[in-house]
Amino acid sequence: MPVALAAALAAVAATTVTAGAAPAPTGPQADLREVMFVGNNWDGTADVIESSGSFAKLGRINVVPDKQERLDEIYADPIRLLFFLGIRNGPGEGHDQFVDDMYSTPDGKSMVVSRPSFADVVSIDVATGKLNWRFPVSGFRSDHMAVSPDGKRVAVSASTSNTVHVLDIGSGKEAGSFKTGDKPHENVFTGGGKYIWNMSIGDVQTATDAPWLDWTKGDRKITVVDAETFEEVKVIDMRERLDAFGRKDLSDAVRPVAFTPDESKLYFQVSFHNGFLEYDVADDKITRDKTLPKNPDTSEDRTTWVNDSRHHGMSMSPEGDRLCVAGTMDDYATVVDRETLEEGPLVPASKPYWATVSGDGKSCVISESGSDQVTAIDFATGEKTVSVPVGDHPQRVRLAHVPTGWTSPPAGG
């Protein structure tokens, strides 16, 4: 990697915010309450909970107020219907996927949501439940998003067209787009919003899950682009880095990731692996790996693991000294010391699907998609502190803001 490029990618940005967090409001927008959005994928709802402490439920938003209109369109189009049913019977595990990712707008008045089964991104007024705007993505499925540090733009993966769209969060107008590897998944803004990193995971729906067939999964890579011009800055092929590190046995499909606060190190999960790896951004190489315990009750038949996951969900403490890992198919979560890579207690959890950081930075918050709750784990002790019931199949959990005194909008939007 050229020295200048390495320095740019590894630079510490003064405006860097915690991945997945909504930027803190200032000025006239400061009269807002920090909360967490919990996306209930199969319900088509988002629960709004306190961002720390008791994590008590504050209300719920219907994110598919236009459900019948969308279904009418889909059933009138044989091609769209084919993909709609494919999502239901593939990544949806027999259910429609109505909410993947969510962020609040800087003024806290709206929630922006990606809806996989409807292949779109919508903005919903949190007071009325009405749609502000709708952006249909290219192809037939929308996926993970990321919001820029200033809160003005949102990047969304269009997983069947190998494209990331970058939208103005207020208007829904497209600012630009870029091409990725096969099946773009996670997105992260870095460098204070200067770059966008996209991780493509390839085809996770095939039954060719044996390690020697990993090459059939498609073109998996990390694509780094300039967030203003959308020009490609670098492509990182983890297959080459994994092989050089001596882990030819691992998949190169990069799943959830976590950067250190100074963005010098990237921690990432890959398909089928019960653990994670450390990547040095400036040196452009993998430096350490960590294998976490297996649950003896977890089947070793890789075709039974949901969407090629074994572990899916990572977050890092604000100080950068602790990692929180969701052991999805092993039914636990654990806090790992970043210096020693020693794990703490294995906290039992039912198919934990995501990990984020509480508003006060003291807890890791995981979604338990198998038991319809979110659970907080203390970063300092590694112990569970509280679980809160939410809707059907919670996945993404994001810090957000709503107006002070907010209550749920009328049912139905």
pLDDT digits (tens, 9 = 90+) for 225-277: 999 999 999 999 999 999 999 999 999 999 999 999 999 999 999 999 999 99
Looking at the structure of the chain, the number of domains it has is 1
Half-sphere exposure of 20 (CA within 13 A, CB side): 31
Question: What is the CATH classification number for the domain harbouring 85?
Answer: 2.130.10.10
- In this structure, is residue 410 part of a structural domain? no
Mean pLDDT, the chain, as a whole number? 93
Q: Per mean pLDDT, which range of 85-99, 241-255, 327-341, 384-398 is the poorest?
A: 85-99
- For residues 108 and 24, give the distance between their C-alpha atoms in angstroms, rounded to a whole number: 10
**Structural domain that includes position 396:** 3-403
Q: At what angle do helices 67-75 and 78-89 cross, to 10 degrees?
A: 120
- For residues 293 and 332, give the distance between their C-alpha atoms in angstroms, rounded to a whole number: 10
Which SS3 state, helix, strand or coil, does residue 29 take? helix
- In this structure, is residue 412 part of a structural domain? no
Which SS3 state, helix, strand or coil, does residue 23 take? coil
Q: Is the pLDDT of residue 86 over 70?
A: yes
Q: Is the pLDDT of residue 375 over 70?
A: yes
Work out the average pLDDT over 3-16: 44
Q: Is 298 exposed, middle or buried (0-12, 13-18, 19+ CB in 10 A)?
A: middle
Write the DSSP symbol of residue 194: T
Dihedral angle sign, alpha carbons of residues 380, 384, 386, 389: positive
Work out the average pLDDT over 390-406: 97
- For residues 276 and 292, give the distance between their C-alpha atoms in angstroms, rounded to a whole number: 8
- In this structure, is residue 408 part of a structural domain? no
Give 316-378 as a DSSP string.
E-TTSSEEEEEETTTTEEEEEETTT--B---EE-SSEEEEEE-TTSSEEEEEETTTTEEEEEE
Q: Is the pLDDT of residue 91 over 70?
A: yes
Output the pTM of the full model. Answer: 0.92
- For residues 219 and 333, give the distance between their C-alpha atoms in angstroms, rounded to a whole number: 30
Percentage of residues of the chain with pLDDT beyond 90: 88
- In this structure, is residue 350 part of a structural domain? yes
- In this structure, is residue 413 part of a structural domain? no
pLDDT band at 23 (very low <50, low <70, confident <90, very high): low
